[in-house]
Amino acid sequence: MISSLRMAGIFILLTTLALAGCSTESPKEEKTTLRFVGWSFNNPEAWEAIFNAFEEAHPDIRLVREITPHSSTQFHALLSQKLRNQDSSMDVFLMDVIWPSEFAAAGWALPLDNFFSDEERQKFLDVPILANTYQDKIYGVPLFIDSGLLYYRKDLLEKYGFSPPGTWEELVQQAESIRDGEQSAHPGLHGYSGQFKQYEGLICDMLEFVHSNEGSFLDSEGGRALIDSPQAVEAVQFVRDQIIGGLAPRGVLTYQEPESLALFSQGNAVFHRNWPYAWAIVNDPERSQVVEKVGVAKLPHFPGGRSVSTLGGWQLAVSRFSKQPEVAWKFVSFVTSPTMQKVLALQAGRAPTRKALYEDPEVLAANPHFRDLFDIFLTAHPRPRTPLYPQVTNTLQAYFSAALSDPESDIPALSQRVREDLDRILAPSQGERSD
């Protein structure tokens, strides 16, 4: 819960910024309408404060908000339809970190190079800037960063003399030992909770397993599939046999972030993979049974591999079809400013994309785990940056779901077939590169 003192500080920040931007223009002057399209936010109070502050700072602009259901897939479909129809009423939209290449290649997102200078980009973390870059142009401004983390029951690891696991094999051994030791007191305790439903979250989880075994989905150019490599196959088999068929309940095959987090926050799992936002929830007495019993660490890796964390997060983009890009940029620059990113960090637990905020005493006091996260963010791994990502992810999701849900699945055969499917999908991009 955010303290009253911290809330007062936020109020002062917003009020000061709003007053600084107030205009002396006549209130009778007609306002410019700016339309922003986003999705349903986990922390609506924080966003409401930001929207109100923008309108106070820019009294000549009327902000119209279109908020969609909380589904990345549905939101992508809505945005695609608007942009495909060249809907000029939409000026600014939220953009998932996996969409910039697609939207840029389609001619839907406006290049921001004339607004977003190289000097300003240097103030942001490198990987989100890379993810927003396509063919040497920048198409989005990172708002907050996500990165896969390992949450663990600090009290249980200490009780059994364990440190956070460095490898996936160590995680299995520790989880089994703790689960066995707690059997009489807590028979419903599971070893692991993650996101394994057939949706984008499954891709995030599986990227971390595959890449931490020195495997990959695609080659570095995004033009050829490598999903049938021995390293990738071994990682998928490990998840099927040791995680789905061992540490985690079978129900994780239907879990997205909220369901997997609920299992952990109610004290029913030793280890849990999630994004940084989960820290505030597991330490909220009204929503968690494990307050002050949780630690956070890098995700494990396989022997000979390295810890890999999937890059997540959201950006603000300007529609290429907006009739007022300069006004749209006012909103983008305001919301991604240090002050507004600080509001999201304090009120919503969202990890900033601006480097300087990781040295802000108030941000660190509210989110002490950010000290540990900074190094992880520097090495976060983006998902394949290809304009064909929607087809790629749908194909991979179907493969992982089939491989993990069937204890007898022939993973080498499945991976070879999906590699062939992916190579057919990626063939057009290969042709573009050879021109």
Distance CA 91, CA 321 (A): 8
With a cut of 70, say whether residue 324 has pLDDT above it: yes
Residue 388 has pLDDT above 80, yes or no: yes
pLDDT band at 69 (very low <50, low <70, confident <90, very high): confident
Closest alpha carbon to 248 in 210, 288, 209: 209
**Tokens 């900033």 -> residue:** 352
* CA contacts within 13 A on the Cβ side of 338: 12
Cα pseudo-dihedral 339, 340, 346, 348, rounded to 10:
-170
82: Cα within 13 Å, side-chain hemisphere: 25
What is the distance between the alpha carbons of residues 46 and 368, in angstroms, rounded to a whole number?
20
Single-letter residue type at 327: V
- What's the CA gap between 231 and 308, in Å, rounded? 14
- Give the HSE-up count for residue 34: Cα atoms under 13 Å, Cβ half-sphere: 23
How many C-beta atoms surround the C-beta of residue 111 within 10 A? 16
- Out of 66-80, 360-374, 381-395, least confident range: 66-80
Q: Which band of pLDDT confidence, cut at 50, 70 and 90, is reported for residue 220?
A: confident
CA–chain centroid gap for 82, Å, is 23
Cα gap 270→262, rounded to integer Å: 13
Please work out, in degrees rounded to the nearest 5, the angle formed at the alpha carbon of residue 48 by the alpha carbons of 42 and 52: 160
Considering only residues 15 and 348, tell me which one the structure prediction assigns the higher pLDDT.
Answer: 348
How far CA 322 is from CA of 55, 65, 135, 317, 325, in Å, comes to 19, 15, 22, 11, 6
Provide mean pLDDT across the span 334-361: 95
Tokens representing 406 are 């069937």
* pTM > 0.85: yes or no: no
Q: What angle do CA 309, 46, 335 make, to 5 degrees?
A: 75
Nearest by Cα to 134 from 99, 169, 162, 89: 99
pLDDT in tens, 136-181: 999 999 999 999 999 999 999 999 999 999 999 999 999 999 999 9
Asked whether residue 6 carries a pLDDT value surpassing 60, the answer given is no
Q: How many CB atoms lie within 10 A of CB 334?
A: 18
Average pLDDT taken over every residue of the chain: 91
Q: Which residue bears the tokens 């964390």?
A: 309
Least confident range from 36-50, 94-108, 183-197: namely: 36-50
What is the residue-wise DSSP string for 139-181?
--EEEEEEE-EEEEEHHHHHHTT-PPPSBHHHHHHHHHHHHHH
Amino acid, single-letter form, for residue 240 = R
Report d(CA 381, CA 141) in Å as an integer.
Answer: 18
| 69 and 108 Cβ atoms separated by less than 8 Å | no
Residue 80: its H or E element: helix 72-84
- pLDDT confidence of 434, banded at 50, 70, 90? very low
Residue 30 pLDDT: 83
How many Cβ atoms sit within 10 Å of the Cβ of residue 299?
22
pLDDT of 289 higher than 50: yes
Token output for 278:
């989960």
pLDDT tens across 169-204, in order? 999 999 999 999 999 999 999 999 999 999 999 999
Q: Could you tell me the strand order of the sheet in which 61-68 lies?
A: 61-68, 32-39, 92-96, 311-318, 141-147, 351-352
